[in-house]
Amino acid sequence: MPDHAKRRVHTVLFGAFDRHNFGDLLFPHIVARMLAPSDVLYAGLVTRDLRAWGGHAPCAFANLGAWSRGKSLNVIHVGGELLTCDAWEATVMLARPERVRTMIAEEKQWRRDPLAWAMAHCGTASRAPYIISTASFPQICVNTTSFHAVGGADLDRREPAFRNEVLSKIRRAAHLSVRDRQTQAHLRAANIEAPLVPDPVVMVAELFGARIHERAAGDAVKPLRDAYPQGYAALQFDASFGDDATLDVLACQIGRTAKTNGLGVVMFRAGAAPWHDDLDVYRRLAARLRGTPVHLFTSLHLWDICALIAYARVYCGSSLHGRIVAMAFARPRINLVHASEAQQATKQAAFAATWEPQGIAATTVADGLADAIGTALETDVALMRDTAAELARRYRLAFCV
């Protein structure tokens, strides 16, 4: 770490931006820009360098011990569904490709002794390692912890020991805000008040629009804009939608909506970490889309993905932050969920219910995809622009870490 950083950095942005996931890679960009010109340090559970994909090079929080001697650190938990990520899930999603199956197979060991297992694999004896408390790392002088626009939509469905640990930690926070009313209600039931702040990514067009428009003119995105003069659907979904039956339904629905609306179809990955998006699943879907103009977008660069969504006629996918980037650029959007989740308030539905105006649909299941995209394409453009501007305004007014 350079000497000037040792002298100047006292604020740590902490989160899951130590893995390739679209939203997590965006969070530190947004919050660091909002905090400028203050210097910040980026930290996660592991040390990774994601700068080749437009991210940062976070260090493992546990490794800050020696550096922080004589210094006090203010730790800001930055966005995301941090309140519901357990140690086993975190370890799998952070695993190197050759270690993923091994880590998945350790679920029983983790359940048997979660604290010891977490200590061995995450560097902290915590069921919820992405939540730092002042007692989590005694070797590090943590002055304050805060939580900025975090999510925990299904916190009520987690086991009591996990939930109690999370609530105990956030009660000690110097500042706390959440990104949806559902998370807010879960905390209120535990006598914890948390104001609502829109997800940081609502600021991506305002803060990084020039960079994204420049990427849209680059080699990754411009050929697609040229190839589909009537526009394209930016399509994304995680590997859990990869069974043959679901792909058959998706192919039928996508083929129908592409023909009806004159759309090309561009499939992209919003995350390459384990349990995120899988190229092989996309290839299997593409093979089913005979006669439909389809392209597999292979760039994993953060700003290329933003540009792809910003110039799409419609975004459809399972990624919440695919939706939020589409919101920020006033593009039509719809989130894809499993049929088993259709009656649940998923994080996508919870966010939309909190911040979307009435008349903009939140989610669809696979066999309703064509109609949902058709409806999204009819959304009033002025309404989408007003929504984007209002969310950015509300975020600026509420920004406090």
pLDDT greater than 90 at residue 22: yes
The pLDDT tens digits for 183-237 are: 999 999 999 999 999 999 999 999 999 999 999 999 999 999 999 999 999 999 9
Quick check: 39 pLDDT over 90? no
- Tens-digit pLDDT profile for residues 348-366: 999 999 999 988 989 999 9
Domain residue ranges of the chain, discontinuous segments joined by +: 3-197, 203-397
| Mean pLDDT value across the chain | 93
Q: Which fold has domain 203-397?
A: Rossmann fold (3.40.50)
One fold for 3-197 and 203-397: yes
Q: What's the CATH code, domain 3-197?
A: 3.40.50
Residue 140 token pair = 């590090």
pLDDT in tens, 75-128: 999 989 999 999 999 999 999 989 999 999 999 999 999 999 999 998 889 999
pTM: predicted TM-score of the whole model, two decimal places? 0.94
Question: Which of these ranges, 68-72, 75-79, 304-308, 370-374, has the smallest mean pLDDT?
Answer: 68-72
Beta bridge partners of 236: 317
Comparing CA positions, the residue from 83, 15, 47, 16 lying closest to residue 274 is: 16
pLDDT digits (tens, 9 = 90+) for 126-151: 999 999 987 778 778 888 899 999 99
